Chain A
C-alpha cells in the first residue's frame, strides 16, 4: 500500500504532484483526504475510483470512514462492530467494493483449522434435516434438506429457499453463489438450478444402450469441467460424464461400464468425484455393500485420454469415505471395519497396498463396522474426519530429520486432535462436512440446522 505522499527528497518541485495525488472528498458534510493509490484499490468499477470527479457524496460519513479504513488496511476497523453487518454490505454495494468486504471477512486464506470454534447455527425451516451441503470458495453455502435447497450468502444471511423436483437431494455442488448442480439416487437426471430465481436452468441426462433413465450418484467439478456419475435405472450400466462448466455441453464420457454377468467390480458406480488439480486427474470412488462385506474401488482418471492411471481395489477394510488432498499430496480414507484413518501417498502412485494406517494399526478387524457413516474431508493442510458426533483433525507434523523409507520417500507423520471445546463435544452423528471461506459447515443427524465453525475474525 502506498499510503504516504510527500516523502520525496526534494520537496519544491513535487508540490504540484503531491497536491494532485491527495484526494479530498466530502461525504455527508465531513471532509476526508486520501491518496489516489488508496482509492484505486477499490477496483476500476467502484465509486471510489471515480470519487475525485464528484467530490461530494451524500452518504453516511461514518460508514464511509469504515470502508476507507478497509481500503487502507485491508481489514475492518473494530468500530465497524457498532453497525450491523447488513449496513456495511449495503454501503459496500453502493460504493461497489463488496469484494473487499468479502475478502476481509470470509477469505479462505483466513481459514485456521486450529482455531475453529462453533460460532453460529443456520436454522432450516421445516422438518427435514440436511442431506447435502455445497459451498463456494468464499463461503456461500447451499443446503439441501428434503426437496428444498436453502442458500446462504457469504455473510451467512439467508438468501433463498427453492423447491426442486427431487424427493431428497443426494448430491449437490455449487457452481457459483447462485448456481448449483443437484442430483438424487432415486430420480432421473442432473439438474442445474438457478437458486436465486428458483428454476431449472438445464437438465442433463445420460442414457445407456437401452435408453432407460439414469440416476446421479455423484457430482464433482474442476475449474473447466463438471463431472457427474450416472447409473442406469436398472442398475446394469454406469458412466462418468464430463461437461463443460460454462456451456454445460457434454465434453466426453469416461468409464462407461455395461454389466453382463456377476462382475461386481464394474457394477459399482462412483459416488464421490474429486478433482486433483496438482496431478490433473479425477478421483472417482465407489463402494458396494453385500453379504460378504464391503467392496470398493478408487480410480484415478486421466480425462483427456479416458484411461485409468491408478486403481486401488478395496477388498479388506474398504473405505467408508475417502478424500484426496492436493496440498498434502495424499489420499485419506476411513476404514469401514476398523474406523481408523488411512493415508496413501500420491507421490507413490501405482504402488501395491499403499495404505498406511494413521490411527491404531494393531486393531483387529473383526467384522464390526466401526467406520460406517464416518465422513472424511480434506481442506488446506488438514484432514477432517467425523466419528459419530466428534470431528478429528489430522495434521502433518513437519519433522526436521525424517527417516527415509524403502521406496525413497520420507516417512510422514500425521497426528490427530479432537476439535472443539468440551462443551462442543459429542452431539448427534455428523452427516456432512463442508468448507468454504474461513468456515467449516457441519450437519448432524435429525438436526434441522447447519453448524458454522469459524476462526475468530478481526473486527467482527
Chain B
C-alpha cells in the first residue's frame, strides 16, 4: 500500500477528486471524504491508487445504500433516506466498507438526559421473557439480559446477537467483566460462574469455601461489581455468613476476602448492591432488609487493598434524630460526581452525601416544592435508585422520576434539619400510562440509554433522549 502512494509522483492532495462506480452508478467525492472513514476502511484503501487512472474504481454493491454511507462520510450524519434501510442492513454494509465506527457514532442515541427521554423500544426475548437480571454491558449501548437461566445479548443497535443457556435455573445477578465474558450468580444455586457469551460455554466458577469453618458452604452470590483488575462478588451462606470476595479478573482466582460477618443482624447482612468507585479506589456495599418495623440496613465503604472499612453508616441508629425510623430503601453512587444518593423508606425523600467528605451525618436532604410532583404513593419502600449522567433516577412503584442539579444554585443547607431546597429539581421522566406497566425493579444506564425492568413485565424498556434532527430509526 505504501509503495503505491510513493509511486504517484505528485502526492495525492486531500481535495483531489475520486470517482467510484458502485453497481453501475457513478459517485464523485474527494479524497479527504473517502479517507475520513479511517485508514483501514475499504474506501481509503481503494483511494490509494494513482490518481491519473481515468477509470473509476468499480465496487459491486448496492448503489443506494452506498449513497447513504457516502453522505454519512461527508456530513457525519445519516440522511433521511437511511430510513428506507433496516439497521441491520446499514450495519452490514458499513462493516463491508469498513466504516462501522462512523455509523456507530452517527446512529448511537444522543447524550442522555432524564428530563427529555422517551421509551424507544422494548426488548423482549422470545421465550421466558421475564428478565431476572440485566447489565448495560458496555458504553456502546448494548445490553445483556438474563431470563429463565438464559442470557440474551443485544448489540449496540439493540439487534439480538445471541442467546445462550446456562446451567443456572435463575440468574439474579449478572455483570459483563470482559467484552465476551459474563459473571453470573443465582440466589438459588451456589457460586459465581463465568460464561463466554459468544462461544456459549461455561468457562469457570468461583466458590467461597473455608475448610476451617463448617458454616461456610453453598455460598450464593447476591451482587457483582468489577474494577479494571478485579471482580467483587458478595457471597451469602444458608446460615447467613457472608463476605465480599475479591477475584482476580484474569485468573478468576480468589485474591482476598473482605469483611466476613455472621449475618446475625441487619447490620451484618450480605450486601445486596456493590459499586466500585474507580478514582477513589473504594468499594461501596449496601444492604437493606425490610421487616415489620420498616427498613434497616447499612452502607459501607471498603478499601480492597487494605481490607479496611473506610466509612460506614447503619440505619436506623445513626444520623439526625428527626430522621430516626426513616432509614433508606435504596442507595446508589454517582461515580462521576462522587456523591451517594439514598432514598428514604418512610418519607420517600432523597438525600445526598459527598463521598469526599463523609462524617457522622453527611446527608443533605433534598426538597423540591414542584406542585405537579405530588407524592402519590407516600413512602419509598418499593423504590429503586440509579445514578446516570449526573442525574439520579428514582423508580417509585411504577413511576420513573429524575432528580437533576440546577446549574448555578448554591448549596444552602437549612440549619438543623439538613433540608436543602432548589439544589436539585425533581421531574417525571415517564407519562402516567408508562407507570401502569408495573413496579420498577431495576434501572441501569449505559451508552446514552436507560434500561428499565418491571415486575411481571416481559422484556426491558429502553429509554433514549430524542434528537429530532437526526434519523432515529425506531423499530
Contact = CB atoms under 8 A, between A and B. Distances in A.
Given A417-B150, A421-B458, A422-B458, A458 B86 contact: yes
B320 interface: no
Interface string A15-37: 10010001010000001111101
Contacts of B50: 11
A6 B60 contact: no
Interface in B195-216: 199-205
B218 interface: no
Contacts of A75: 89, 92
A77 B167 contact: no
A33 B127 contact: no
A401 B60 CA distance: 48
Interface in A403-460: 413, 415, 417-422, 455, 458-459
Contacts of A121: none
B89 A5 contact: no
A34 B201 CA distance: 42
A78 B89 contact: yes
A356 B334 CA distance: 50
Nearest to B52: A11
Given A79-B84, A399-B202, A415 B55 contact: no
B152 to A, nearest CB: 7
Interface stretch (B158-166, B229-237, B262-270, B342-350): B158-166
Interface string A66-91: 00110011010111000000000000
Of residues B23, B59, B204, which shows the largest number of chain A Cβ atoms within 10 Å of its Cβ?
B23
B200 A398 contact: yes
Interface in B160-196: 160, 163, 165-167, 169
Interface size class for chain B? 35 or more
A117 B53 CA distance: 53
Interface string A95-127: 000000000000000001011110000000000
B21 interface: yes
Interface in A17-67: 18, 22, 24, 31-35, 37-38, 65
Interface residues on A, range: 35 or more
Contacts of A35: 58, 60
Interface string A377-403: 000000000000000010101111100
Contact of A78 (B42, B85, B127, B150): B85
Given A78-B84, A413-B167, A400 B204 contact: yes
A366 interface: no
Contacts of A24: 24
B205 A38 contact: no
A77 B62 contact: yes
A459 B42 CA distance: 25
B161 to A, nearest CB: 11
Interface in B3-57: 4, 21, 23-24, 42, 45-46, 49-50, 53, 55, 57
A360 B165 CA distance: 19
B379 interface: no
Contact of B129 (A18, A73, A422): A422
A79 B85 contact: yes
Contact of A420 (B57, B62, B126): B126
A31 B203 CA distance: 54
B61 interface: yes
A77 B89 contact: yes
A4 interface: yes
A69 to B, nearest CB: 5
Contacts of A400: 201-204
B160 A115 contact: yes
A261 B168 CA distance: 52
A6 B20 CA distance: 11
B374 to A, nearest CB: 33
B224 to A, nearest CB: 18
B124 interface: yes
Contact of B201 (A116, A393, A398): A398
Contacts of A68: 23, 62
Contacts of A417: 127-128, 148-150, 165
Contacts of A209: none
Contacts of A421: 124, 126-127, 129, 458
Contacts of A455: 126
B88 interface: yes
Which DSSP category, helix, strand, loop or mixed, fits chain A's interface? mixed
A15 B57 CA distance: 11
A414 to B, nearest CB: 9
Which of B84, B89, B124, B203: most chain A CB closer than 10 A?
Answer: B89
A33 B124 contact: no
A78 B57 contact: no
Nearest to A22: B58
Contacts of B24: 24, 31-34
Contacts of B46: 4, 7
Nearest to A9: B4
B165 A415 contact: yes
Contacts of B49: 11
B23 A18 contact: no
A278 interface: no
B60 A34 contact: yes
A62 to B, nearest CB: 11
Nearest to A77: B89
Contacts of A419: 126-127
Contacts of B53: 11
Contact of B127 (A7, A77, A79, A114): A114
B62 A65 contact: yes
B62 A72 contact: yes
Contacts of A33: 21, 23-24, 58, 60
A114 B62 contact: no
A109 to B, nearest CB: 15
A115 B60 contact: no
Contacts of A22: 21, 58
Contact of A115 (B59, B85, B126, B203): B126
Contacts of A69: 62
B88 A114 contact: no
B455 to A, nearest CB: 13
Contacts of B55: 6, 11, 15, 18
A3 interface: yes
A114 B59 contact: no
Contacts of A9: 4
Interface string A232-268: 0000000000000000000000000000000000000
Contacts of B88: 78, 458
A397 to B, nearest CB: 4
B262 to A, nearest CB: 31
A85 B92 CA distance: 23
10 contacts: A6-B57, A18-B55, A18-B58, A34-B60, A114-B127, A397-B166, A398-B200, A415-B149, A415-B166, A458-B86
3 shortest interchain CB distances as A-B pairs? A33-B24, A114-B163, A3-B60
Interface of A: 2-7, 9, 11, 15, 18, 22, 24, 31-35, 37-38, 65, 68-69, 72-73, 75, 77-79, 112, 114-117, 393, 395, 397-401, 413, 415, 417-422, 455, 458-459
Given A77-B62, A114-B165, A399-B201, 19 more contacts: A3-B60, A4-B46, A4-B60, A11-B53, A33-B24, A72-B61, A114-B163, A115-B160, A116-B127, A395-B165, A398-B199, A399-B202, A400-B202, A417-B128, A417-B149, A419-B126, A419-B127, A421-B127, A422-B129
